[in-house]
Amino acid sequence: MPTDPIVASILDALTCADAQAAWTEFLSRYNGIIYHVIRSFDRDPDRSSDCFLYVCEQLSRDGFRRLRKYDVNGRATFSTWLSAVVRNLCLDWHRKVYGRSRAFKSIAGMAATDQLLFELVYRHGHSAEEARHELQQRGYNLSFTQVEEHLVELQRCMTARQSWLLSSSNAVAESMEELGQRGVNAAELADPAPNPEALATLRQTNALVSSALDRLEEADRLLVRLRYQEGLTLQQVANLVGLKDAQTADRRLREVIEQLRETLGIRPLACGKTKAASV
Domains and CATH numbers, the chain: 5-98 (1.10.1740), 105-188 (no CATH), 196-276 (1.10.10.10)
pLDDT tens by residue, 223-252? 888 887 777 888 888 888 888 888 888 888
Higher pLDDT, 111 or 86: 86
Contact 226, 232 (CB under 8 A): yes
Reported as a pLDDT band with limits 50, 70 and 90, residue 193 is: very low
Reported as a pLDDT band with limits 50, 70 and 90, residue 23 is: very high
Mean pLDDT (the chain) is 75
Q: What's the pLDDT at 199?
A: 60
Q: Is the pLDDT of residue 34 over 60?
A: yes
Reported as a pLDDT band with limits 50, 70 and 90, residue 59 is: very high
Q: Is the pLDDT of residue 195 over 70?
A: no
Higher pLDDT, 118 or 95: 118
Closest alpha carbon to 12 in 26, 30, 28: 26
Average confidence (pLDDT) over 81-86: 89
Q: What's the pLDDT at 58?
A: 92
Q: What's the pLDDT at 277?
A: 42
Q: Which ranges constitute the DSSP H helices of the chain?
A: 5-13, 19-41, 45-68, 78-98, 105-108, 112-118, 128-137, 144-157, 160-168, 171-181, 196-214, 218-224, 234-241, 246-264
Q: Is the pLDDT of residue 67 over 70?
A: yes
**How big is the CA angle at 262 (ends 258 and 266), to the nearest 5 degrees?**
95
Q: What's the pLDDT at 170?
A: 46
